Chains A and B, each alone.
Chain A
């Protein structure tokens, strides 16, 4: 069994060196950040409580996220190939479970990669390499154990159809209650004053919440934190309680899986099928995830409502948007990314990396927000269309079909620009003027449009190339156009002697012009490109 598995792994790794490079990059980044974190902010005064609090909160958040997702959606550790060859082959269920654990390692590595992005921020309160290595290694174990426990819960509850979503509700509900409890305790310590409780510096907030007994004793994900707390406070009791509870959990899970002979194949197949669907959708989309459906779609009273010939494509897209988010102008992924932008800006402002009220905050907000939008709007619906035959078959001109598909993204792009405008105005009060508002709206909307059209152009030019080459060209072109737009903007600003909004107005003009040129150059894509 093992030799067959190792043979397959060896062959896969040889055939996919890019993947190895990617994992090496993640690992290298984690190691690099862990090693340099001490020197990132050498003058910082160490806040031990904040360090411990941050480690515990990272484990708490990651562990609950993984637990909640796995117990609802099942494990993503098996592929359909595993199902076909391993499940039906002469491999024991226990051996296949070990494979699942091994298959989970890359995803766990990615979680740790994202966690390590917190290190520059943590260096502000004296985070050291030792802390970093502890956070990463401990987090690795927490994520791995939580994914196995979540899978165990999922397998058990799969037999009880109507209780399938109960564990996720319990886990996220308990998480919310725990955080609410911490907030209440913080308020009570500060005479119920919201301003004095939450107006404190971020390191103090982290130390208070992270070291709260509710987090300490939160089942499963809180227990390893007790060990850390005990080590830093040299408190043997904390170490003992944490160790007994954490090791006990791992032993119990291992025992249940080895002795109970869980029949988990059906549950694993569900996860494997979902992975296959996502992979197929991603293949077609080249880059980005704006059109991948993994959630439940509810059919309401909405209808296609209009269209003849190519314009039917436009109306169909609006209907599909409505199905995904209840509104034809809302892109759920874009909204999620905006929430991440808000969280990022909140942390930046709480850590005094950006100053309240500074116009420079706009650069942070737009820089981060627009970068995330590349992931949403580059994988446009038009590229997804190219994976189905209908856009090729519909009896209308290639240009009309392309434009009908492209313009269907406009409501989402405009709404996203509106949300981004509000975020910018909240975090940069200096931008709370009508011209600034319009300028921000235009720059975001035009950038979203540019992402979409440049992606289409790249597929038009390099239709036979792989996703990596297409994405590389797309990134270079995006950056070149944005850079040129900024340059033009600054030149215009210096000529008319105006404010920064002039830069945005001018740059958005360049971006819109470039987008239409890209669209013009790709106008025959449906006639000249093959179904992907």
Chain B
């Protein structure tokens, strides 16, 4: 009597196969206070040191793609939704904010709210139409919508600049009452802005993954039918996660537009969607640090390989394959496995 099973669950299962450890769990669960403190100091320290060891724009790019990859990991690692259309939301946010900033608007909060809102809105539209499809069908649908958005951007020259990209973007200004106004024309102050948004995103997402919302989302990844039978509206939860990820991707896109003062058409191409999935896979899905490490390694390697060889994507591809084949839990999963060999015993959870 298994005829009642959804035909798609089998596919979804096989895709999830390599993920062995939940993204909900060990790392992010508030354990001893000191461990959390050390972790936070470590991350803040790393963010402060980053621009000292590499060109500052590369460091900024790592933070921007870190934000983008963390948002993608809410879908991949926590919800088990393999979206191959995230670049559409990154691009939407970038173009929307970029358009305002290229046409005389200067307010930072406005640019961010518009990026967030437009990314989330397009994600809601795509999500409503694709969230009930399972496994490979979901992937293909998100991919197709990404292509759709790409061609809209490509053909709507008057607004988007078509294949030349949207140029003439000016960095916004933050006006604070009583304090004065901050400009981000200087790359160091722009890096500071990116770090604040990066850390805020990380805090929000880590908390979200360990909230009832995140735990139920992780439950529906592991067994969606069971989660429904416990009384949860799984498709609605997944849709909300999809919209949240889209909104955050929109913010990342806006920062990217501000960084180089141009929104290139490539940023909304489906390859961007594939890259962010690679970042998550390289770094590891079990916590929010994984995708950030993945983004850093990916961007660093991209730079390195492109200096070595003009056909650098080939090298990058080989690297991704090697990581996927040898480290199913990504770099972060590998490191914590190493440390669990040296430090015996697991932390107790308290829920």
The answer to whether A binds B is: no
